[in-house]
Amino acid sequence: MGSNVSNIVIVIIIAVLLFFAIKNSIPHFKGEGGCCGGGSAPKAVKPKRIKNVIAKKTITIEGMKCANCYMRVQNELNSIDGINAKVIGSRNHAVVKLGRDISDEEIKKVITDLGYSVVSIS
């Protein structure tokens, strides 16, 4: 009977570990984590044409590891009205042209919500 209890405990431990491994992997496979894990590259959101650029900012970003990461950040920035962004992965930064007044905090929030860190905005 003692070995049956031991086997049951081991099976329960393995089941719990497997549950958490799968639960934590789902966002990764959906491309929602800090790094999307590869697969097909997301399509680029066409940046809006800005007629009157009022400011240009360079954002240094930490945590981008692959082309999919760069594209996720670029797409999210370009989805904001009044922003035209280009992410340069080799330098880990984004060049953002603003067509309206947008705070650094708003830009930073968009990037950090994706799971990356903003080092600086200049």
Q: What is the mean pLDDT of residues 87-92?
A: 88
Q: Can you give the pTM of this predicted structure? A: 0.67
pLDDT tier, 43 (very low <50, low <70, confident <90, very high otherwise): confident
φ/ψ (deg, to 5) at 92? 55, 45
Q: Helix, strand or coil for residue 84?
A: strand
State the CB neighbour count (10 A cutoff) for residue 72.
Answer: 24
For residue range 56-88, list pLDDT tens digits in order: 999 999 998 888 889 889 999 999 999 999 999
